[in-house]
Structure 1
């Protein structure tokens, strides 16, 4: 008993250290959304929530938590109460309820209690009292509606829930930039945690994962004692230039699980990962494959409504080996973008660098739009006497822009007298460590298309969740 007391006291003291979030072993590992209904109506004429398929998909994912969205009609609520919660309990899966905020009423209104969030607090807590695996609930896009969610109103919500089910967690969904000093002071004391959707703010993309650790540690320092649940985008993010790839979601999830182990995160909850085979997002259409050949390409992007400055860039650098006895050293590659001669020149420039020096460049307006063009660069003289070389493909900002979207593709690299792995850009794991961003607003990635998106991504997430 003395030893147990010491362990408990140590755990409590650690949770109070600034910069360490409250994390319950092994952490919440799961996904949110993609609620499926049965394919055929029952005798009552209703297509009910397909509890059996969802639970099977979650178990295959090695998930211990599911965020159940309250969208559509009242059937979602009654099926949660009567069927889903008991089945999830048997499967060892915790459930959180997701309720939509007033700002989302154009697409989604949660029923039956709509925008009466005190009623939601009371009724979810009542359900949690009967079903202990109903562990928490969230309001999506919470911080966009702080005129509704005033401290006084949230205090009423909290009181209503805690009076019935004290252990029930209230964990709103809040974006990184919304965690202001005022928000921390006024809102955080009323919460049990926050769901933090990661989108590389302030740039809003699902291609660049390296800002994740910085943002997690910043939140952990500012929110000591508050559970932080990271939400990777497994589903397309609005206004982002590209859909998330298998390798991107895997990289974000892997890093997030590491932060769960360190105590800086309390869990990882995917945003709408397709985990049931008949989900429409399970496969990706062929039109998503923008490679010239095969499935992969290098992509260099400046988003819409994104300001850049001269000198910003993002590049993919690779070390090469010079083959002995070769008379010539030549690199060729195919490039494409959506701009053409009718657009302003002198802003976005495609480049190839050899050992840090530009040896080829082309304005994005120089060639016909959406047309693959081959570039060939003879490096023989520049590599005389060398034994190795570093090549870097780069998008460079000659002048800054305020809103000038571009997505440059590079594919099918061919080398003469040099050698490197994966010149066709078919393996993101080979190229991702070689990416470097200068200035922030320009980003790049290895975009590799997976037709069987749900199956391929699910298998990788399942391995990470099993280990985590």
Structure 2
């Protein structure tokens, strides 16, 4: 960590030297996965890795690092060796290899060496010796398979690689909750860094970015001298209530770049950011748009299998200006959730607060499931003699639950005698700074749908990567 901090300081000093401008802070800036094959087979009958399209997409993203996944048949390995690494080197792109762990055998087995990780260590190191831009490799879901990756076995892996290519980094993928004291003591001395996928643990959420800095700073304290690479989810996380939005991934990446500059992170590597236009994830289906009108809505969530306590909440608060001379002060909005009268009442409560006091509320079980319902609240008397007001939409836990999933939507706010920006919730940047949660297990977000997800997100990430 001291070394990273000194590098950051050196970059700042370098930028102050006459003739040197915009010195870039060193760090891995890239993405993992979304490996594309060519659309047509070659003369050998094989659809090879589409090296040309991938490199072009990475350059458009301003990425300096790509994590190349070993899935499918042996072609991924031979194309990496024969075509991809030379092309990436010519484009100034470093490459990591991603190998799948034994627990992922149901979906993904890396070939040709499968679950022989000593062989992977040896062969990747051999490849790195002749291709210096092959700088590291990772095992996905590493800490789920510690019965395989014992310290003794990882020691064999390390010895096999370092004997051939001492500079090659082994950087396994480990989730925040898996950094136990025992893991740190037994595993960290054997690795060259860690990839840390961010998912707002323990809530398995990819819409709330504010716990990121805390988790990064905790890892920096607990792993001194260890390079930590953040992995934001640009691709849907299984069992999460929502897919990551453009504004969410942008916010996490922006904060990650700040932590690279401070020396607390060594890089940021998106998880499956679509960066080639023919990627299936490049666009989002219209079914993903859950707004009543337009593209945006407020969302209030309690996740599956998540315990809450009475008094927990998450709210979106906005300051409003009262229109001079208005005879009435009225707020209306539409709300919806997937529960109904057949579900237990008295737990999740939808509320509107005026200046911190509840002026409207509705149980999630009160209305028909999946139906937009309009609420109208007359605030004229309560706002008599005032010039401004604070409104808050929130989900409140009247009683705690152990497993009672809910996703409440609010959209199409209309104001009479009051004014505020973006009442239709079309701009996440307007709403996101106003969000606050009490207790953690209830979270909220401005969910704005982007049909052209890959293009819109890629443009924002490219801008952040270009700034370094």
TM bin (shorter chain) = over 0.9
1:251-283 per-residue CA deviation (whole Å, 9 max, x = no partner) reads 000000000000000000000000000000000
Structure 2 residue 241 is the aligned partner of structure 1 residue 241: yes
Residues 1:29 and 2:29 aligned together: yes
2:171 is matched with which residue?
Answer: 171
Shift of 1:66: 0.1
Aligned counterpart, 1:18:
none
2:80 counterpart of 1:53: no
Match of 1:260 in 2: 260
Distance 1:138 1:422 in 2: 43
Instruction: Show the counterpart of 2:374.
Output: 374
Matched, 1:197 2:197: yes
- Asked if the contact 2:72–2:108 (Cα under 8 Å) also holds between the matched residues in 1, the reply is yes
The equivalences for 1:18-417 within 5 A come to 25-417=25-417
Normalised to the residue count of structure 2, the TM-score between the two structures is: 0.95
1:105-127 Cα offsets, whole Å, 9 max, x none, are 00000000000000000000000
**2:220, 2:264 within 8 Å by CA — same for their partners in 1?**
yes
User: Which 4+ runs in 1 deviate beyond 4 A?
Assistant: 10-15
Separation in structure 1 between the aligned mates of residue 242 and residue 3 of structure 2, nearest angstrom: 42
Q: Compute the displacement of 1:26 (Å).
A: 1.4
Task: Give distance in 1, aligned partners of 2:396 and 2:339.
Answer: 15
3-state DSSP class of the match of 1:112?
coil
What is the rounded CA distance, in whole Å, between the counterparts of 1:139 and 1:337 in structure 2?
A: 39
Distance 1:13 1:216, change over 3 A: closer
Distance in 2 (alpha carbons) for counterparts of 1:325 and 1:14:
60
SS at match of 1:360: strand
Partner SS state of residue 187, structure 1: helix
Which residue is equivalent to 1:434?
A: 434
1:443 maps onto 2:440 in alignment: no
Q: Following the alignment from structure 2 to structure 1, what is the Cα–Cα distance between the partners of residues 437 and 64? A: 36
**Matches of 1:178 and 1:81, distance apart in 2:** 33
SS of residue paired to 2:413: strand
1:402 is paired with a residue whose SS is coil
| 2: CA distance, partners of 1:394 / 1:150 | 47
**Aligned residue number for residue 6 of structure 1:** none
Alpha-carbon deviation of 1:384?
Answer: 0.5
Q: What count of residue pairs does the alignment treat as equivalent?
A: 451
2:374 aligned counterpart, secondary structure:
strand
Match of 1:4 in 2: none
Aligned to 1:424: 424
5+ residue gaps, structure 2, are 8-23
- Residue ranges of structure 1 left out of the alignment (5+ in a row): 1-9, 16-23
| Deviation of the 1:14 alpha carbon | 4.9
| Alpha-carbon distance in structure 2 between the residues aligned to 1:25 and 1:451 | 33
Q: Deviations over 1:36-65 (max 9, x none)?
A: 000000000000000000000000000000
Q: Report if the CA contact (8 A) 2:70-2:110 is conserved.
A: yes
CA distance in 2, matches of 1:161, 1:243: 38
Q: Quick one: distance in 1 between partners of 2:438 and 2:5? A: 40
1:155 CA displacement: 0.2
